[in-house]
A = this chain, B = another copy of it.
């Protein structure tokens, strides 16, 4: 299989999400264009990268297409594909993410939360085990945590990222304002609302 370029990967992952919202059996590239905003040509090119060998005369089969994307990117929602995650920084935002339903129906499972304040850890009530960031590196390693949400104060963000990297983390969803320095092998997405809005201006 050929390597799929990053922008196409991102669109295909979003397309899988669109397909899971879909109730009809078939979907055409024109409908995808309307739903997602990508041009029909882009949609067709992205889908062609999946190398499906079925006719598309009256649209793509929603289930076949979705399954193909899930399979291609190891996104199938089964126990073998469960990915263990943690939240680092349990201020208001970290707490909200810890309690959010985002992770419920996904194969990403939050298995730990971390904060530097022992008071904060004792104050929060959660079904998810909470620990001190002093033990971040050893816990992440021991618990085989693959992905982290980073929602600490900006000033501590690089230090915590360093600990996560040292523990072998594969990716960080960065809610802080700090642009992080990590090795190439670690994936980063900056999702701080202000940073995102700045890219809207650009």
Residues of A in contact with B (beta carbons under 8 Å apart):
4, 9-10, 12-18, 21, 34-37, 72-75, 83, 85, 91-93, 95-97, 99-100, 102-103, 106, 108, 147, 149, 170-171, 173, 177-179, 181-184, 187-202
Contact = CB atoms under 8 A, between A and B. Distances in A.
Given A93-B93, A108-B193, 15 more contacts: A12-B202, A37-B188, A72-B202, A73-B198, A74-B201, A75-B198, A75-B201, A91-B96, A92-B96, A96-B96, A102-B192, A103-B193, A147-B197, A149-B193, A191-B193
Contacts of A10: 199, 202
Nearest to A187: B200
B147 A173 contact: no
Given A36-B181, A100-B92, A188-B37, A17 B195 contact: yes
Number of this chain's copies in the complex: 2
B196 A173 contact: yes
A44 B184 CA distance: 18
A102 to B, nearest CB: 5
Residue of A34, A73, A173, A178 with highest tally of chain B CB at under 10 A: A173
A55 to B, nearest CB: 26
Nearest to A155: B21
Residue of A103, A184, A189, A200 with highest tally of chain B CB at under 10 A: A200
